[in-house]
Amino acid sequence: MNSVSPALRDAVQTWLDTRRALKGVSDNTVEAYARDVHNFLGFFASYKGGETGVTALKTLTITDVRAWLASLRSEGLASRSIARKLSATKSFFRWLGEREGFEATALLNARAPKFQAKLPRPLAPDAARDVIKTVELQSTTPWVGARDTAVITLLYGCGLRISEALGLQMHDAPLPDVLRITGKGGRERIVPVLDAAKDAVTAYLKICPYAGLEGPLFRGVRGGALSPRIVQKVMQNTRLQLGLPASATPHAMRHSFATHLLTAGGDLRAIQELLGHASLSTTQAYTAVDAQHLMDVYEKSHPKSASNSK
């Protein structure tokens, strides 16, 4: 960033501060914005062969933008990542243009590469139940097996993110009928706790050697906070034992929670609240999953489809 003028660096920081001040924008998101905008400014300075300031940005052309996008593609970035970088950079330029009195038409009119949004990959209900039954078998230490069962049950039974489950503290147990969860962007939500989740946590604490301590509810074998990587490894071993696809990850248990609720007639808005999604459009991905499930059932059971397959 040495080739970017101090005034422009200050402008970027001011913009980031305004992003951070917006409710619901997490520090991780702000850091991603910073990386994406700095990536563009660094490229532009190198491409033009001199220090880049606000005045230079006013001369930006569509050729410059295309050169940047081409450089990202040459680095092997996926279309989704390129689209994210372009979106963040557009946001900064829109803000800068309003402040400095210019329109960055070339950048704002640039089109992001098309990509097909990945749908969630939930497990079938019986597969989700098999995971919960099998996960404890991945350890020969009883309390560790009980711990892993409790974590996975919370992911599936309450739709928690893995970070949210591992963020629970000893003082949260025994689990109440509802949990107040702080999720992404500091958004709070109320999550009902199924009896199965309560029972799994209680069974874990009965034999956990660290149950009397303050701090994290879920502990590693040495007493420290349980690492998400351990849960991912346990889930990997479980899916291999059950012959499930690689998409059967801890996060897939959360996807399964949402999809199975929707299939059972759950309201999309209510599921959005339970999952802690900021936008309903994020939750609506599950309607596509459910529609695909219905089409699969239709194709297999419709008389005409069945006769055509003979």
304 is catalytic: no
Of residues 90, 254, 255, 260, which has the active-site annotation? 254
Helix (H) or strand (E) holding 187: none
| CA dist list (Å): 7 to 89, 115, 302 | 17, 36, 66
255 is catalytic: no
d(CA 252, CA 259): 10
The H helix count followed by the E strand count for the chain is 16, 2
Burial of 5 (0-12, 13-18, 19+ CB in 10 A): middle
Of residues 20, 94, 251, 293, which has the active-site annotation? 251
**Backbone phi, psi, residue 168, to 5°:** -65, 145
From the CB of residue 225, how many other CB atoms can be counted at a distance below 10 Å?
13
33 is catalytic: no
Of residues 85, 90, 147, 161, which has the active-site annotation? 161
Of residues 9, 19, 121, 184, which has the active-site annotation? 184
Of residues 33, 204, 210, 286, which has the active-site annotation? 286
> Alpha-carbon Rg of the chain, whole angstroms?
24
**Backbone phi, psi, residue 169, to 5°:** -110, 165
161 is catalytic: yes
Catalytic machinery residues: 161, 184, 251, 254, 277, 286
